[in-house]
Amino acid sequence: METILIVCAVIVTVAFVALVVQAVLTLQQLRHTAKAVEFLALNADGKLTALDPVIGAVQSVTTAVSSGWFKLAQVFYGMLARK
């Protein structure tokens, strides 16, 4: 009976050590990922301002699409789809 308890204690200890090792590795990876995200956030500001002309062009296209001629085309398509 004493041997079974010793074997169980050794197994539980090994499992706990494996859990601790995995937790440490996971926390190291999490720290590395957080540093990468911070670097990306700090450098993204300058890059995103370069996209302002593209965003403006997309906004003008969406404004044109949602304007009257598109709504007229939707009404016309709706009338054709009913027949």
Q: What's the Rg (C-alpha) of the chain?
A: 31
In a shared domain, residues 7 and 43: yes
Write b or e for each residue in 40-56: b if 16 or more Cβ atoms lie within 10 A of its Cβ, otherwise e.
eeeeeeeeeeeeeeeee
* pLDDT confidence of residue 74: 74
The stretch 53-69 carries a mean pLDDT of 78
Number of domains the chain is built from: 2
Write b or e for each residue in 3-20: b if 16 or more Cβ atoms lie within 10 A of its Cβ, otherwise e.
eeeeeeeeeeeeeeeeee
Q: pTM above 0.75? A: no
Q: Which domain holds residue 25?
A: 1-50
For 7-53, the pLDDT digits (tens) are 999 999 999 999 999 999 999 999 999 999 999 888 887 777 777 78
In a shared domain, residues 2 and 14: yes
Give the integer Cα–Cα distance in Å for 20 and 14. 10
Residue with the bigger pLDDT between 75 and 30: it is 30
